[in-house]
Amino acid sequence: MPRVAVLRIGYRLVRDDRITTHIALVARAFGADCIYTVGGEEDLAETIRNVNKRWGGDFQVEFVDDWKKVVRQWKNSGGLVVHLTMYGLGMETVEEVQRGERNILVVVGAEKVPRELYSMADYNVAVSHQPHSEVSALAVFLDRYFKGEELKKNFRDAKMKITPSAKGKNVVEL
Phi-psi domain of 28 (left: phi exceeds 0; alpha: psi -120 through 50; beta: other): alpha
State in angstroms the smallest separation of the CB of 42 from its own copies.
18
State in angstroms the smallest separation of the CB of 77 from its own copies.
22
Three-class SS string for 30-78?
Answer: CCCCEEEEECCCHHHHHHHHHHHHHHCCCCEEEEECCHHHHHHHHHHCC
Q: Pick the closer one to its own copies by CB: 65 or 163.
A: 163
User: Hey, which residues between 125 and 154 contact its own copies (CB under 8 A)?
Assistant: 126-133, 135-140, 143-144, 148, 151
Examine residue 78 and tell whether it contacts its own copies (CB under 8 A).
no
In angstroms, the CA 75 to CA 65 distance is 18
Q: Which of 19, 44, 61, 104 touches its own copies (CB under 8 A)? A: 19
Examine residue 29 and tell whether it contacts its own copies (CB under 8 A).
yes
Q: Pick the closer one to its own copies by CB: 72 or 87.
A: 87
